[in-house]
Amino acid sequence: MYRVKQLSAFLENRKGSLAAVTQLLGANGLNLLALSIAETDNFGVCRFILSDYEAGMKQLRSAGYTVRTTDVLVTCVPDRPSGLGDILRLMEKEDISVEYLYSFVRNSGFNALIIFRVSDIDKAQRVFKENRIEMLTQAQVEAL
């Protein structure tokens, strides 16, 4: 129930390609809640959480982008030293690997919002729940 849809798009690594994609989303009233970019010499992958992922997907596809959705977990991590470290140590103990993580543009109260892309999302959900690590649902995320 805590699966949140992340969109990712393929971008060529050249000037203006990120501007183009963000402008496209903005022009269609879609808000970027979180954003992360991974790049190589000649291409990059832009990952983001949108206020409306279905609309975003449609817009991007029709503009000719290669897009896919990935399920991620959005967690509230205590905004204090080792807040994230504790969670990562827990995941290591449970043998869940993190493929990547990034944080939201905004935070929620005293918590930082961290997006996790993990090897086993169901197990990660269970472990987070058992350890009382707060997670946000799709609806909660979109309402941010």
Residues that bind another protein (CB under 8 A): 6, 8, 10-12, 38-40, 42-45, 47, 64-68, 70, 99-100, 117
In the bound state with another protein, the residue whose beta carbon lies nearer, of 113 and 117, is 117
In the bound state with another protein, the residue whose beta carbon lies nearer, of 27 and 42, is 42
Shortest distance, position 4 Cβ to another protein, whole Å: 13
| Own/partner long-range contacts of 76-82 (Cβ < 8 Å, ≥24 apart) | 76/108, 76/111, 76/112, 76/113, 76/133, 76/134, 76/135, 76/136, 77/111, 77/112, 77/113, 77/114, 77/133, 78/110, 78/111, 78/112, 79/107, 79/110, 79/111, 79/112
Shortest distance, position 134 Cβ to another protein, whole Å: 24
